[in-house]
Amino acid sequence: MHFLLPVVVFFLLLLSLAGATGAASPFPVDHDFYPFYPSLIKWERSKAPFTEPSVCAGCHPQQFEEWRGSVHALAFTDPIYQGELNKGFKAVGHEVTRQCEGCHSPAGMVTGEIKGPGLKGLGPVALAGVSCDICHSISGVTHQRTPTGEPENGSFILSPGVDTKSGYQLVKRGPSKPVDGCGGGFHECRESPLHDRSELCAGCHQVYHYQDHFPLEATYNEWKHGPYAQKGIQCQDCHMVETATFIRTADTMKRPERSEYRHYFSGANYLLYFLAGEAAKKAGDRELAASLDKKYQMALEKLKAAADLEILPVYRSSALAEIKVRVRNLRAGHNLPTSLTNVRELWLEVTARDATGAVVLSSGGFEGPGMLEPDTRMFNSEGMGSDFHLAIDPWVVTAFSRHDTIPPRGYKDAYFAVGPIKKQGTVTVEARLKYRPASQQVARKILKEVPEDISLENVYGASPMTAVPIVDMAVKQAGFESRRGK
Ligand code: HEC
Ligand code: HEC
Ligand code: HEC
Ligand code: HEC
Ligand code: HEC
């Protein structure tokens, strides 16, 4: 039967070729080591269950009140997340969107409780998103063993407890040496230096494409390669403290005292706090609404403390030709903006008037409801798929066509041409640095996809048409002579 031999050899050759291309992958995946791939979470499984936050609250009421209503507490129920997840679920299926759940509700993913978009039928642990028992069960990280050798897609180990002869023992980890009676008989305590460092946050704050491992969000790397990391200032030092403490820390480069840490995790997402606040009011939970209002204010304070502006004139042949606006990243520990840079919008609105009040320069205004002028100077990025086409969805974006964010303690300059001046004299300029979490078009697309069991209208009093609110991060005025004197 040796006429079959060439066929067999051919197939063996094909197989070995396939093996060879697999082995040559620039980002090899160890599927045994990472059983939840594309999420890189590891779960040290035991009889010890995950605990819901309301149980921790019994003995740690202050931490609970601070965490409740935080972006971490909302990470899974967030309607914007659920809308995008639903889009992803339809496009690439649950095998891939497990990656999302790994960061937005790790316990719900590893236990297999979450099976797709929506909230129906889920228990309190899954709904609690990034809850107490996620962070305080993290026993280690695998940042160096990931396909890229960098922190990505949840590269940490969850160990809620250990098996014992009589059942199990819960173990919770924190930054301090355990005090006597630590855990109150409910849990054991372990000292964990990791909890005092940015590496605890890194696995979730580095979002990489599920297959091509392209860094869609790289907040940790931006921080690590910047001046705050060099001085030992960690994520916790700006995001787990009151606003005044964050500003002091950023300005003095000195870490806060242990007693100053809080569980707010306040960032920039004022829109989510606003939506959740409306939901709490509708549900009649005034305490939660008040806590969300505080977090909403903190997000605005963070944004307003993050940057400043400087306006300078550019003369050519003694005539005012251009206005230069310098945008400084004063206090963000990473690039400004960071994370979802292809969705967030940060831009300059600049207006100048001559001595008669006539407009001689205008940029960054609106040409329709929520629609920015096409040549607006943006500081963010544009994602694209493998074909040079603009893309937003994280399962499609594998490159940036433009990435123009401002590094920590760095700045970027923008130039604006001044038009013909009718009457010489003082030209007055106003520059505003503006921010919104997403453009009107993107917000509309995502909110249209919110799963049916979350009623935007009933729960949040919102609709896909709701205007995305805009924040002025910095405002500056200046006046310059239209002709340079001697
Ligand atoms: C995103 C991760 C994260 C989440 C979620 C989280 N913690 Fe923490 N927690 C930390 C970190 C980091 C510290 C250490 C802060 C520091 O450096 O002192 C900490 C500290 C603590 C401490 C020590 C005392 C203190 O306040 O500094 C307790 C107790 C605690 N957390 C309980 C909780 C409880 C209860 C919840 C849920 C209601 C919770 N944590 C949610 C990360 C988290
Ligand atoms: C490695 C962890 C990680 C993975 C994986 C991940 N996310 Fe996220 N996601 C984050 C973090 C961190 C943020 C917050 C970024 C910010 O606020 O700028 C975020 C923010 C978002 C937001 C914006 C929410 C808002 O209120 O503005 C959406 C939408 C979202 N993620 C959807 C997804 C989807 C869909 C997937 C899967 C395809 C996914 N995420 C996978 C960590 C992750
Ligand atoms: C029966 C009461 C009780 C419950 C329930 C409880 N704890 Fe504790 N926990 C304590 C006590 C007491 C300490 C000692 C120090 C303190 O009071 O903060 C402690 C300490 C801690 C520490 C160590 C803080 C440090 O200084 O490093 C962490 C972290 C922690 N708990 C997390 C949790 C989490 C997460 C939960 C829910 C899964 C939880 N605890 C539930 C009583 C409890
Ligand atoms: C298990 C994954 C996970 C860990 C660990 C984690 N985060 Fe997050 N974090 C998220 C996700 C997911 C979001 C976005 C949720 C959303 O917008 O729906 C987020 C949001 C945030 C935000 C709010 C961003 C905004 O736009 O307002 C801040 C700030 C933040 N995290 C800081 C931290 C810090 C500091 C640590 C470490 C102490 C940490 N995170 C650890 C998953 C995580
Ligand atoms: C020196 C203070 C400082 C440090 C350190 C710092 N941040 Fe921030 N962070 C800020 C400020 C200010 C903002 C608001 C401006 C912005 O959006 O960048 C912010 C915003 C964010 C956002 C929301 C971005 C958005 O536009 O939606 C996330 C997520 C975040 N930080 C995570 C982290 C993580 C993770 C680390 C550690 C690797 C970290 N931060 C370290 C100050 C800091």
Report the 3 state secondary structure along 379-436. CCEEEECCCCCECCCCCCCCEEEEECCECCCCEEEEEEECCCCCCCCEEEEEEEEEEE
Three-point CA angle 66, 86, 444, nearest 5°:
80
pLDDT at residue 386, as a whole number: 87
Distances (CA, A) of 11 to 15, 16, 25, 359: 6, 9, 21, 73
User: Running DSSP on this structure, what letter comes out for residue 150?
Assistant: S
Q: Which atom of ligand 5 sits closest to the CA of residue 234?
A: 5
Confidence bin at 485 (pLDDT 50/70/90):
confident
pLDDT at residue 191, as a whole number: 98
| Residue percentage of the chain with pLDDT more than 70 | 95
In a domain, residue 486? The reply is no
pLDDT at residue 466, as a whole number: 85
pLDDT at residue 180, as a whole number: 95
In a domain, residue 7? The reply is no
For ligand 2, whether the C-beta of 150 sits within 6 Å is no
User: Running DSSP on this structure, what letter comes out for residue 469?
Assistant: P
Residue to mutate, 56, 139, 187, ligand 3, most ligand atoms under 8 Å from C-beta: 187
The per-residue pLDDT for range 83-135, each reduced to its tens digit, is: 999 999 999 999 999 999 999 999 999 999 999 999 999 999 999 999 999 99
Which of 273, 301, 329 terminates a domain? The answer is: 301
Rounded mean pLDDT of the chain? 94
Mean pLDDT throughout 377-406?
95
For ligand 3, whether the C-beta of 175 sits within 6 Å is yes
| Shared domain check, 320 and 229 | no
Confidence bin at 427 (pLDDT 50/70/90):
very high
Which of 301, 335, 365 terminates a domain? The answer is: 301
In a domain, residue 17? The reply is no
DSSP run (H or E) holding 372: strand 371-372
The per-residue pLDDT for range 7-46, each reduced to its tens digit, is: 555 554 444 444 444 456 899 999 999 999 999 999 999 9
CA of 461 to the centre of ligand 2 (A): 23
In a domain, residue 471? The reply is yes
Mean pLDDT throughout 199-226?
98
Say how far apart CA 336 and CA 175 lie, in whole Å. Answer: 29
Q: Are 114 and 40 in contact (CB under 8 A)?
A: no
In a domain, residue 22? The reply is no
Q: Which residues pair with 474 in a beta bridge?
A: 433
| Shared domain check, 310 and 297 | no
| Shared domain check, 327 and 203 | no
| Shared domain check, 335 and 256 | no
| Shared domain check, 179 and 49 | yes
Say how far apart CA 324 and CA 414 lie, in whole Å. Answer: 6
- Number of folded domains that form the chain: 2
| Shared domain check, 335 and 197 | no
Residues in the chain: 486
pLDDT at residue 3, as a whole number: 55
Q: Say if residue 241's pLDDT is above 70.
A: yes
| Shared domain check, 75 and 145 | yes
Which of 301, 316, 332 terminates a domain? The answer is: 301
Secondary structure of residue 134 in the 3-state scheme: helix
Q: Are 431 and 311 in contact (CB under 8 A)?
A: yes
Q: Say if residue 397's pLDDT is above 70.
A: yes
| Shared domain check, 191 and 45 | yes
Q: What is the CA radius of gyration of the chain?
A: 26
The per-residue pLDDT for range 299-340, each reduced to its tens digit, is: 999 999 999 999 999 999 999 999 999 999 999 999 999 999
Q: Are 48 and 168 in contact (CB under 8 A)?
A: yes
| Shared domain check, 315 and 408 | yes
The range of the structural domain enclosing residue 311 comes to 306-481
Q: Which residues pair with 435 in a beta bridge?
A: 346, 471
If we measure between CA atoms, which residue out of 289, 336, 331 comes closest to residue 461?
289
Pick the residue whose CA is nearest to atom 27 on ligand 1.
261
CA of 438 to the centre of ligand 2 (A): 13
Say how far apart CA 294 and CA 300 lie, in whole Å. Answer: 10
Q: Which residues pair with 383 in a beta bridge?
A: 400
| Shared domain check, 354 and 291 | no
